């Protein structure tokens, strides 16, 4: 099956610093990648949809200047949390859609990145 990796798996940073999270589709090309945020014991909250070569589409309430998304190639998308604060601490998960897959538009998920801002 299709594999999506995320790096790093865990990161701890100081308040005010920026953190970059990478999402890679390893064995398929992903025209669309999604970034989610998940709080403890809560479901996934879609932050933004990223299409290769174009600007990301952010969900309502998500600050685009704080959560910078770049989808420079068909296998890589990055999420940069700028000037991170403790309230940004969360589990960030990316997913990728294989454009050659069936009509149900399955998303393949990465293992997630645990961000802790001190």
Q: Binding residues for other proteins, per CB under 8 A?
A: 4, 6, 32, 34, 41-44, 46, 49, 51, 57, 91, 93, 95, 97, 104-112, 114
The smaller minimum CB distance to other proteins, of residues 6 and 77, is found at 6
What's the min distance (Å) between Cβ of 70 and other proteins?
18
For the chain, how far is it from start to end, CA to CA, in angstroms? 37
User: How far apart are CB 83 and other proteins at their closest, in Å?
Assistant: 26
Query: Closer CB to other proteins, residue 70 or residue 82?
Result: 70
Shortest distance, CB of residue 105 to other proteins, whole angstroms? 4
DSSP secondary structure, 47-115, as one string:
EEEEETTSPPEEPTT--TTTEEEEEEETTEEEEEE-S--GGG-EEEEEEEEETTS-TT--EEE---EEE
Q: Which is nearer to other proteins, 44 or 82 (CB)?
A: 44
Sort residue 74 into left (φ over 0), alpha (ψ -120 to 50) or beta: alpha
């Amino acid at each position: 099956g299709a594999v999506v990796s995320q790096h790093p798996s865990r990161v701890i940073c100081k308040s005010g610093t920026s953190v970059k999270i990478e999402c890679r589709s390893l064995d398929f090309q992903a025209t669309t990648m999604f970034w989610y945020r998940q709080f403890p014991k809560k479901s996934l909250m879609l932050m933004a949809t990223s299409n290769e070569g174009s600007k990301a589409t952010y969900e309502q309430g998500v600050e685009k200047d704080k959560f910078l998304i770049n989808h420079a190639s068909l296998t890589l998308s990055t999420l940069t949390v700028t000037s991170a604060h403790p309230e940004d601490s969360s589990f960030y998960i990316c997913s990728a859609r294989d454009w050659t897959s069936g009509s149900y538009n399955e998303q393949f998920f990465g293992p997630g990145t645990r961000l802790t801002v001190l």
